[in-house]
Amino acid sequence: MQPYKKPEAIKRMNELAGSRKPFLFIIDYKQQCSLIEEVSRIDSACCRYDFNGVKNVEASTESYPGRIDWDFAPMPLADYRQAFEIVKRNILAGNSYLANLTCKVPVSTNLTLEDVFRHSKALYKLWLKDKLVCFSPEIFVRIENGEIKSFPMKGTIDATLPDAEKQLMDDPKEAAEHATIVDLIRNDLSMVAERVSVARYRYCDRLETNKGPIFQTSSEICGTLPDDYPSRIGEIIFRLLPAGSITGAPKPKTMAIIEEAEDYERGFYTGIMGYCDGRTLDSAVMIRFIEKDGERLYYKAGGGITSKSDLQSEYNEMIQKIYVPIY
């Protein structure tokens, strides 16, 4: 797949959507590298995808045959504390209301990147040969019949805990974090659409993982696009980037705080991936992500920090998200 810089990526997406040629797009967190290709030209030996049923290869519906070895080495709490305190200090100074802090964690497993793609249960899956696999549960935006929808996901808890769903819904920190993201996404959609509204607020989904079930909360936000939206798909998508749920609010200042706190490059992690046929578009935030770097595998994971965040709880949540949805 051919990489594009931002101006060329916008132009290419506009052209393909305007001529109604189905295409795949993969955009990195900083929007410095975008992979865009007509689906008819994608080689499944190098790129495989399954985006909510739109796919170029049959994924396995069977469980992984055998035992899964899964071990990882998160950064020590003392190292995480340094990054956490940079974020928390900026929040308390009024520079941000919410910042998404992430980490790069070495993983040891008998699973290959292709195994994860084949056997994981996720709404959106992507495999790039010898580079990465993503198995995301989080919708970025969907466009259909002139309507754009976003479904920000914020708030996670172990579903096996007593009254887990109630604990999650009643947690003031999680409630504040979710409210902030919903407000941010509503403002983002208002830049490209009219009559933006929150259709569903803070509903709960149950996800199965190799470490057990978890609950996550999402909301649904809708708006109406202008009539000429197909020929402006690239402009619309890039106007919304990076995704609010994996940056924070206000977005520009929070991105600078993240840059200071994190000690690695996110790359395609927390970027977006999707499919467009010219009239409809479906896309996901690239979370739940394993990358190959040299001979090692790394899992990239994180969570939102607010003024109410507790160091140990946030560290634990980051670790909780290092899983594969294979069971």
What H or E segment, with its residue span, contains residue 172? helix 172-190
User: pLDDT at residue 63 above 90?
Assistant: no
Q: What is the DSSP string of 179-212?
A: HHHHHHHHHHHHTT-EEEEEEEEEEEEEE--TT-
Structure tokens at 31: 């929007």
Indicate the domain borders of the chain: 3-57+70-146+225-321
How many CB atoms are located within 10 Å of the residue 18 CB? Answer: 16
Buried b (16+ CB within 10 A) or exposed e, 33-45: bbbbbebeebeee
Task: Return the pLDDT at 59.
Answer: 61
Task: Return the pLDDT at 323.
Answer: 93
User: pLDDT at residue 155 above 80?
Assistant: no
Q: CATH for 3-57+70-146+225-321?
A: 3.60.120.10
Torsional class of 197: left (φ above 0), alpha (ψ -120 to 50), beta (otherwise): beta
HSE, side-chain direction, 13 A CA sphere, residue 110: 6
Give residue-wise pLDDT tens across range 212-241.
888 888 899 999 999 999 999 999 999 999
Per-residue confidence band for 310, with pLDDT thresholds at 50, 70 and 90: very high
Q: What is the DSSP string of 41-75?
A: G--TTTEEEEETTEESSPPP-SPPSSPPPEEE-PP
Task: Return the pLDDT at 176.
Answer: 83
